[in-house]
Amino acid sequence: MRFVWLSLGLLSVGLGLVGVVLPLLPTVPFLLLAAFFFARSSERMHTWLLTHPRFGPAIIHWQERGAIRTGAKKLATVSIALVFALSVFLGLRPEILIIQAIVLCCVLIFLWTRPNC
């Protein structure tokens, strides 16, 4: 079973790294998932992820307090607004825009109700 957890952790890290360069793919949720999988499979990989200078602090803040950096919240808000603006610009059907607006508003509410780091 440890092999399965380790494989899922490595896959999550890979998807998180792809998310660094692709704006629509989130990075931190995949790294949080990787931390979960590594905690069950490999202490070495778990420690590596938590002590990583770029990704470690965000994971630790989430694990300890459920907190998200203010800068990350602002960046996510701008990204969400740009995605919705693109959908409007592309002329998507109003039903799709309404569903998208509801989902994105729920995401923003969740995001902005988390504590700041």
- What is the DSSP secondary-structure string of 17-51? HHHHH-TTS-SHHHHHHHHHHHHTT-HHHHHHHHT
Q: Tell me how far apart the alpha carbons of residues 113 and 117 are, in angstroms, rounded to a whole number.
A: 12
| pLDDT average, residue stretch 63-80 | 90
Q: Please, what is the Cα angle at 7 between 45 and 38, to 5 degrees?
A: 30
Q: Please, what is the Cα angle at 22 between 113 and 66, to 5 degrees?
A: 25
Supply the pTM of this predicted model.
0.76
What is the per-residue pLDDT for 117?
A: 82
Distance of CA 114 to the CA centre of its chain: 14
Question: pLDDT tens digits for 8-19?
Answer: 999 999 999 898
115, pLDDT greater than 90: yes
